[in-house]
Amino acid sequence: MSKRLYTYAGFTAQDLKNRASIPSQGDITVGSNYIDCSSVDIPSEIRDVIGEGSNDLGTIYCSAKVNKWSGFGPREWYVSGASILNRVISNPYDMANFCGYNHNAIAPYASPVFNTSQVIGTNLNITPELHLGEINWQILSLTDITGVVAKVYHDEVLIAQQSAAFDDPTRFDKNAFYFDMSFANTYTDLTVKYQFVRMTESGFAAMYQIPNIVDTPVNIERTDGGTTSYPPIISDIQLGLDIYNEYPNAYLVYGNAGTSTVTGTTFNFSIKGIDTDSDGLGDITGITFPVYVSKNGAAKVYAGDIRPARANTVGFSSTITGNFVQHDTLLITIGD
């Protein structure tokens, strides 16, 4: 006699077999969406897997050494009021309930939350991850628990939340949920709380604490030491078309030679000339050209005039004011 166990939560039949501690791998047959397990007829086989010191089936069945986080086994999860609890499956004790049992199953856990994109300035983006192990949580009660929610708090005040249904393929992968959340970057300490929910047309309801999941702090990584502005990247310094046509190769600048600093919301930068003919002087010293700056591809803004000075000395300095965040880029154009 055998026991058939069906796939769930994105796990394949091969996954179920590979995870199983009972019965032996040779006694498990893989089907398209199921595994067939030979019945477990020897209590000592179970005893040795869980490390119990008795051959008595009742003792083994109720042993605290049984891993309650296994997707299959002699224990079950159930909803009672506002709680999710665990219990031994009712008598009579049946060794067949150990079919597919994984003694090494891990409990649900939440990954540490990082501000992975490290966008500091306008928005803060975080990517919470919730891993639910291998329990088939959907069988608890399809009317009560059909998804999860991640809720972000600051000083116990809710500032953002996002829910996902169990059958949402864009956020669900083998009992793991991935959230992408964005909000104003005005916080230094945040906490993410996860809950089981019943999904509804208007959102979600019936929230339950997920077993083994505790509130997760957010580690906000500020690569600039905590300031709210970043020096933009100077993506290019180019000559205007008229200058290039009239003075080809006469005046060059380093592609990223400008020195830059940020003070508050002001970006300070400078441009240095290059001595192309090795005479110790900047190549064009008697002509003044306008300088324009564009930010992130926006329209060019007139920033002032440049009159190239001696080689490798500052030929032009200016400031641009704005809320600069990481990955902002500037294009500096000389002339035109």
Q: Which of 247-251, 281-285, 310-314 has the highest mean pLDDT?
A: 281-285
Q: Is residue 266 part of a domain?
A: yes
248 in the same domain as 305: yes
Q: Is residue 115 part of a domain?
A: yes
Q: Is the pLDDT of residue 264 over 80?
A: no
Residue 114 pLDDT class (50, 70, 90 cuts): low
Number of residues in the chain: 336
Q: Is the pLDDT of residue 6 over 90?
A: yes
Q: Who has greater pLDDT, 43 or 283?
A: 43
Q: Is residue 242 part of a domain?
A: yes
Q: Is residue 224 part of a domain?
A: no
Percentage with pLDDT > 70 across the chain? 66
Structure tokens at 42: 């020897």
Q: Is residue 35 part of a domain?
A: yes
Q: Who has greater pLDDT, 268 or 89?
A: 89
Q: Is residue 154 part of a domain?
A: yes
Residue 100 pLDDT class (50, 70, 90 cuts): very high
β-strands 203-209, 181-184 pairing: unpaired
Please identify, among 98, 131, 160, the residue that sits at the C-terminal boundary of a domain: 98
91 in the same domain as 36: yes
Q: Is the pLDDT of residue 14 over 90?
A: yes
Q: Is the pLDDT of residue 150 over 60?
A: yes
58 close to 91: Cβ distance less than 8 angstroms: no
Percentage with pLDDT > 90 across the chain? 24
Which of 8-17, 137-146, 156-165 is the least confident region? 137-146
Q: Is residue 288 part of a domain?
A: yes
**Per-residue model confidence (pLDDT) at position 307:** 59
Please identify, among 179, 197, 219, the residue that sits at the C-terminal boundary of a domain: 219
150 in the same domain as 89: no
163 close to 197: Cβ distance less than 8 angstroms: yes
Q: Is residue 262 part of a domain?
A: yes
Residue 129: exposure state from Cβ atoms within 10 A (0-12, 13-18, ≥19): middle
* Tens of pLDDT, residues 293-312: 777 667 777 777 765 544 44
- How many structural domains comprise the chain? 3
255 in the same domain as 200: no
Query: Which residues form the domain of 301?
Result: 233-334
Q: Is the pLDDT of residue 207 over 80?
A: yes
274 in the same domain as 313: yes
DSSP line for 258-326: --EEEETTEEEEEEEB--TTSSSS-S--S--EEEEEEETTPPPEEEEEE---STTSEEEEEEEES---T
251 in the same domain as 314: yes
114 in the same domain as 138: yes
CATH number of the domain that residue 193 is part of = 2.60.40
